[in-house]
Amino acid sequence: MPTGAGNRPAPILAPIPPHDGAEWAGIEMMAKTKSWMVHAALASAMVVGGAAALAAPPNATERQEITALQSASISPTAAVEAAESHTNGRALVFGFEVNRNTNAYEVTVQTPTGLRLVQVNPSTGAVAGSKVVNASALAEDGLPASALRHASAAPGSLAAAVAAAEQAAGGRALEANYSLRNGQWVVAVDVPMDGKIHSFRVNPADGTVRQAARTEQEKPEGHEPGESR
């Protein structure tokens, strides 16, 4: 009997039984199927992980705003359109504001006489008030004075872009703003879902929507335009 190291018997290797062509084809197919399943699982994990990285949990103020927004009778798009109709202007920034006494949609509108911040009642859709705002306040929203001079030529509308993001996300928008990035107009929209705030970028020219990382630099401002939170 053959022996190995230390005079131990060497293992006896059983011969591989013969396989016909059909058996080998079946084994090869099983191997390919297993490999495909492994790659599919890894791809799925990457997609889920990537989507999670694009969202951020809301802060305390945003949680209050989200709660009030979800119970509002008036939709964000209706509020934006009400502000535009009231001022005969074009909405550039929208957000939802929670105060001690009342809640309101706040829409910054470019009018023939300048910028106005319009408050819209989320229960009735009536305009609660408006005030003049300084153009320099929109710089942090991606709308510096140089961009504002061309805002009237920006394609689409804020309401349409918000509606497109809401349809893609399946929820109500919390904040949105026109922004000029690298010479291209986009509308940044934040939509709360599943306990996090997801950011979307809408091409106002054709309504295409993509999800984007939520950063402070590009985050739409919710109350005073340009005011950091």
Predicted TM-score of the model (pTM): 0.68
The domains of the chain, with CATH numbers, are: 58-212 (3.10.450.40)
The backbone region for 168, taken as left when phi is positive above 0, alpha when psi lies in -120 to 50, beta otherwise, is alpha
Q: How confident is the model at residue 179 (pLDDT cuts 50, 70, 90)?
A: confident
pLDDT at 190 over 80: yes
pLDDT at 100: 78
Q: What is the pLDDT of residues 25-84, one digit of tens each?
A: 443 444 443 343 333 333 333 333 344 445 778 877 889 899 999 999 999 999 999 999
Q: Are residues 88 and 112 in contact, defined by beta-carbon separation less than 8 angstroms? A: yes
For residue 93, CA distances in Å to 20, 101, 124, 153, 177 come to: 71, 23, 20, 16, 4
Q: Are residues 97 and 104 in contact, defined by beta-carbon separation less than 8 angstroms? A: yes
pLDDT at 7: 53
pLDDT at 54: 58
Work out the angle at residue 188's Cα, subtended by the Cα atoms of residues 182 and 189, and round it to the nearest 5 degrees.
170
pLDDT at 26: 45
Closest Cα partner for 159 from 179, 189, 139, 124?
Answer: 189
pLDDT at 212: 84
pLDDT at 163: 97
Q: What is the pLDDT of residues 98-149, one digit of tens each?
A: 987 789 999 999 998 889 999 999 999 999 999 998 888 788 777 777 777 7
Work out the angle at residue 168's Cα, subtended by the Cα atoms of residues 151 and 122, and round it to the nearest 5 degrees.
65
